[in-house]
Structure 1
Amino acid sequence: MRYIFLLVITLLLTFAQSQGQIPFIRHLVNSGFYEEAIFVIGNDQTDYSAQQKDSINYYKGWAHYSLKNLQESSSSFLKVSDSSPFYNKSFFFAGYNQTYLGNYNEARNILDRVNKRVEPILWLYNFELSGIEMLDGNWPRAKQFLELVPEDNAVLNRQVLALNEIWKEHEQHRKKSPVTAGIMSAIIPGSGKIYAGNTGAGIASMIGNIGFGLITWENYRKSGLMDVKTILFGSIFAVNYVSNIYGSIVSVKVIENEYENAIHNQILFQLHIPLRNFFD
């Protein structure tokens, strides 16, 4: 009996040694100690098997991902082999990292390497590609990928509907022109800002320009062109007039940038949700 007990202890110790620090690293990552996990991995000299290296690379990728070190996260995730149970999750998150960083071609190349033989994974693949095409400005192609994802599947249902709404909103959106806003404000001061959507600022600009214009005209009519008041109010009017045109152009650019940024962030948010639902 004693020999059996010693044999069991020996086997357990051998197994623990063969596992190296993987259980400890997993514990650190699951507990949110990401920097500590990366430090341990970097200083671990254990000679791991190929399968164990997959686990190490996965945990390292996840730790970097949680710290928003997205390039480093992708590098670690992409070292996970296709024989690992972490393979699909690693490559989907590596693809999302590159999407977030704006490296859309790299993201496409990474996602092309996932195992798409299982239908839910194929749906997720097409869904992620749809979002990438939207972010890259290829809206017709985005719609093609989105139509390959059934709306009635449980995991992606809400996100498919959300991306469809974003696609419809983009189709209905009429982009405003900074040049048009500038020309409008040159003809009728303030109208360019109203066109941009800043009605209050447009009306204020209109009133200010008309007011200084009338004061300048009145002083010119009474005292002539070289009168100090005419020059003063004329200068104020000129500055306001030019500022009104420039401000209208900037207003349109700012509003369009805000719209694009809002759409961009909505798409990234929708792409991220199903990754958690699929693999967590």
Structure 2
Amino acid sequence: MRILVLLFISFATFGQDIFNYENSRKYGDYLLKSGQFELAGKEFERLVYFAPDNDTLKTNLLRAYRLSNQTSLGIAKLPVLYNNPSKVPFSSALEYAKLQMQNQSWSAARDFWNQNENFSADDKVLLNVTSDIFNNNFKEARTTLALIKSTDNELGVGYKSILEKETHKKSPGLAALMSAVVPGSGKAYSKNWKDGIVSLFFTAGMAFQSYRSFNKFGVNNHRGWIYGGIGLGFYLGNIYGGVKSTKDFNRKKINALQHEASALFNTYY
């Protein structure tokens, strides 16, 4: 009987030790670092309840929501954690901004960080440039980036390089003109060499067959008109294809630049 009592006391003491604040905080940190983000969120919810003034816990809670893709839950949680959006501490504010960006709520994100007092002027510039880049507003991004005070800022320098690359796009109008003069050249202009060569040979082949038929059988022979009609279809399609190929090239380029911007942003912040 005495042994049972001792065991009960030991387990009770052990249980209390497991669930004390410090051990719970360490467990929450472990869950976050080990990638168990949803469980980490539940643990930090409990911790924030017991320590409502701890900003580090609030930041980790918002981070757990973001990394577990519970974006809407994280966005809805901020007003519960902080009464005044403009006073949210930097770390929690950054996590909330990332949640809004992850939710593609760009307008709400910009309103939040522009009014928050704990983001520096350069932070606001960089965040606004990030928003512009992901919304394809590259002209606005260049104008905004010029407002940065620290010209050697790592993220600012990276964004400047991205914005310079964006100017080297292909012109759909030039592709159409090139395709009209030399079939297939518009596609080749956008690095689509294989389709360009196919367009050139098919269009030229149909034109040659049409000329040959007219020359051999006269203009009233149906063969020449059939070959000519097919050739005209290839010719017009080649112009459209040149424009489309150039637009596809530019879209892939923009996607690559946005991916690069995302990597820079996540490394910096």
- Give the TM-score of the pair, scaled to structure 1: 0.70
Letter paired with 1:168:
E
CA distance in 1, matches of 2:195, 2:50: 66
| Equivalence for 1:250 | 244
Structural mapping, 1:154-233, within 5 Å: 156-157=153-154, 159-170=155-166, 172-177=167-172, 179-225=173-219, 227=221, 229-233=223-227
Query: Which residue in 1 is equivalent to 2:228?
Result: 234
- Cα shift at 1:267: 1.8
C-alpha change, 1:13 and 1:200, in structure 2 (3 Å) is closer
Q: Is the 1:130–1:145 contact (alpha carbons within 8 Å) kept by the matching residues of 2? A: no
CA RMSD of aligned residues (A): 3.8
Partners of 1:82 and 1:270 lie apart in 2 by: 32
TM superposition shift of 1:190? 1.9
> 1:149 aligns to what SS in structure 2?
coil
Distance 1:129 1:30 in 2: 29
Alignment gaps of 5+ in structure 2: 1-11
Note closer, same or farther for the CA distance 1:75–1:244 as it changes in structure 2 (3 Å cut): same
Shift of 1:223: 2.1
Q: Deviation per CA, 1:63-84, whole angstroms, max 9, x where unpaired?
A: 222234444444445644389x
The partner residue of 2:30 within 27, 34, 41 is: 27
Kindly tell me: are residues 240 and 15 of structure 1, through their superposed partners in 2, closer, same or farther at Cα, counting changes over 3 Å?
Answer: closer
User: CA 1:214–1:102 in 2, change beyond 3 Å: closer, same or farther?
Assistant: same
Contact 2:44–2:60 (8 Å) recurs in 1: no
CA distance in 2, matches of 1:18, 1:188: 75
Native 8 Å contact 1:126 1:149 kept in 2: no
Matched-pair identity in %: 17
CA distances 1:188-239 after superposition (whole Å, capped 9, x unpaired): 3223223434345334422321122011111122124564643553343233
Give the distance between the partners of 2:76 and 2:49, measured in 1 at CA: 21
Structure 1 residues 27 and 113: alpha-carbon distance in aligned structure 2, compared to 1, 3 A threshold: farther
Q: Secondary structure at the match of 2:93?
A: helix
| Cα distance change, pair 29–211 in 1 and its aligned pair in 2 (3 A) | same
SS at structure 1 position matched to 2:247: helix
Distance 1:55 1:270 in 2: 24
Deviation at 1:163, TM superposition (A): 1.4
| Unmatched tracts of structure 1, length 5 or more | 1-8, 276-280
Rounded to whole Å, the distance in 2 between the matches of 1:79 and 1:192 is: 57
Kindly report which structure 2 residues correspond to 1:75-224, keeping only aligned pairs within 5 A, or say none: 75-76=76-77, 79-81=80-82, 87-116=89-118, 121-136=120-135, 137=137, 138-146=140-148, 148-151=149-152, 156-157=153-154, 159-170=155-166, 172-177=167-172, 179-224=173-218
**In the TM superposition, what is the alpha-carbon distance from 1:255 to its structure 2 partner?**
0.9
Aligned residue for 1:50, secondary structure, equals: coil
Q: TM-score, normalised by structure 2?
A: 0.73
How has the CA–CA distance of structure 1 residues 79 and 169 changed in structure 2, closer, same or farther, with 3 Å as cutoff? farther
**CA–CA distance in structure 2, aligned partners of residues 167 and 73 of structure 1:** 32
